[in-house]
Amino acid sequence: MIQTRNLTRHFGDVRAVEGLDLDVGAGELVALLGPNGAGKSTTLRMLTTLIAPTSGTARVAGHDVVTDRAAVRRSIGYIGQGNGAGHTQRGRDELVTQGRAYGMSRAAARSRAAELIESLDLGPVADRRVSTLSGGQRRRLDIAMGLIHAPRLLFLDEPSTGLDPQNRANLQEHIRALRERHATTVVLTTHYLDEADSMAERVIVVDHGRVIADAPPARLKAALGDRVTLGFASAPEAASAVALVGGVLDGTRVSVPAEDGPALVPALLRDLDLAGVKVASAAVSQPTLDDVFLSLTGRSLREGVTA
């Protein structure tokens, strides 16, 4: 459904996307995960023909994003960050207008709108003015707008940014259900780790415009084994612990990979005690996607996340 080869986009000196090779098959639900500025939106904007690549190629639904933009656009739905439905119309009318803009007959647009209103649980609010909808309802309406022409492929740029946890969970549920019902391929970007972890069959981790990992979330995490997280009273103490026992420094915490976490703790505590480094806390955990990111880049995915 998507193939990119060496896809690159520079903005002046900024290398937003650098040599991206991506293959997404029909029916997959893929999350592009990365910190702010990693190049996720730029990737989506190239795949949806909103901006042209600096170099490299991308085919979406069998069409080239540069030479066949109209065909790409007909095949996809795109819901960008914070864009979406206008404010003065009623939700249902917005959907029909959008369907008409895609060349659908009024009857076809109406019937598709009704189907999406039901799928996305918008029935009680579909005939209200868009300006009166809550953030979560508005976001679901945006998604219905992106799906009105029954695209085979849906791009969602940070669908749950700005939503409270309850609305976020609700939206995730709707995206899952939609996919089952309409067999749509979904590519979404997120910097919510739990969202990528729970929703996506495949997580593509990007950093500085490059893919640094691409696998099902469970496999990415299993590859790391257990983690022993040691807490220290100060960052310098944590740094001396890293010098002694290895691991990755994250503020006043040190995360040490271990095949068998519980078995490693006594040895770590003994070594640090002998060296006079005081451990404030120790915990064993299964890795998260943030640990995956940390182990790949030495930085936490949570750093610099603004939303």
Ligand X SMILES: Nc1ncnc2c1ncn2[C@@H]1O[C@H](COP(=O)(O)OP(=O)(O)OP(=O)(O)O)[C@@H](O)[C@H]1O
Instruction: Give the range of 35-43, 56-64, 91-99, 253-261 binding ligand X by CB under 6 A.
Output: 35-43
Closest separation between CB of residue 223 and ligand X, Å? Answer: 23
Q: Does 195 bind ligand X (CB under 6 A)?
A: no
Closest separation between CB of residue 304 and ligand X, Å? Answer: 9
Closest separation between CB of residue 66 and ligand X, Å? Answer: 18
Select from 63, 139, 191, 227 the one that contacts ligand X (CB under 6 A). Answer: 191
**Which of residues 206 and 224 has its CB atom nearest to ligand X in the complex?**
206
Select from 20, 38, 186, 228 the one that contacts ligand X (CB under 6 A). Answer: 38
Where residue 125 falls (left for φ over 0; alpha for ψ -120 to 50; beta otherwise) is alpha
Q: Does 303 bind ligand X (CB under 6 A)?
A: no
Instruction: Give the range of 21-29, 38-46, 62-70, 246-254 binding ligand X by CB under 6 A.
Output: 38-46
Q: Does 16 bind ligand X (CB under 6 A)?
A: yes
**Which of residues 22 and 224 has its CB atom nearest to ligand X in the complex?**
22
Q: Does 41 bind ligand X (CB under 6 A)?
A: yes
Closest separation between CB of residue 12 and ligand X, Å? Answer: 7
Q: Does 155 bind ligand X (CB under 6 A)?
A: no
Q: Does 159 bind ligand X (CB under 6 A)?
A: no
**What are phi and psi for residue 18, nearest 5 degrees?**
-130, 95
**Which of residues 14 and 233 has its CB atom nearest to ligand X in the complex?**
14
Instruction: Give the range of 29-37, 99-107, 233-241, 276-284 binding ligand X by CB under 6 A.
Output: 29-37
Q: Is 112 exposed, middle or buried (0-12, 13-18, 19+ CB in 10 A)?
A: buried
How far apart are the C-alpha atoms of 121 and 92, rounded to whole Å?
A: 13
Strands of the sheet with 281-285, listed across from one edge: 248-250, 253-258, 226-231, 281-285
Closest separation between CB of residue 146 and ligand X, Å? Answer: 18
Residues near ligand X (CB under 6 A) are 11, 14, 16, 34, 36-42, 191
